[in-house]
Amino acid sequence: MGKLITADEAAAILGVTRNEVYIRCREGRLPHYRLPHRSPTDRLGRQRRGRLRFDEAELLVWLEANKGGPAAYRRRALATMDAGSNVIRELARARSGEGQ
């Protein structure tokens, strides 16, 4: 295990807010560790959750593997759709040229 970093540091590496880091961890989409809290319960007897930490090396590997994400998929899909519509336009022009 490499250097453990906080959620704020992970957010800075990923270029997102700290809240987005917490959301991705809750959804299981981001590799993380939960360290035990010093006191397992609060003064009302409720269970405390530990603090999140991230292995910096694992986070960088994850970032490289998930580069782009949904926005990149959308851009690729739109580019494919644009290319497809250009083909359709060219076919329509060719057909109209054949009829003359």
pLDDT-derived band of residue 71, with 50, 70 and 90 as boundaries? Answer: low
Q: Which run of H or E residues covers position 34?
A: strand 33-35
pLDDT in tens, 19-70: 999 998 988 888 999 887 777 777 777 776 678 899 998 988 888 887 765 5
Angle subtended by helix axes 18-26 and 7-14, to nearest 10: 100
CA-based nearest residue to 10, from 48, 70, 52: 52
Q: pTM (2 decimals)? A: 0.58
pLDDT-derived band of residue 9, with 50, 70 and 90 as boundaries? Answer: very high
Can you give the pLDDT at residue 75?
53
Q: Are 26 and 73 in contact (CB under 8 A)?
A: no
Lowest mean pLDDT among 8-12, 64-68, 86-90, 93-97: 86-90
d(CA 40, CA 32) in angstroms, rounded, equals 20
Say which residue, 34 or 79, is predicted with more confidence: 34
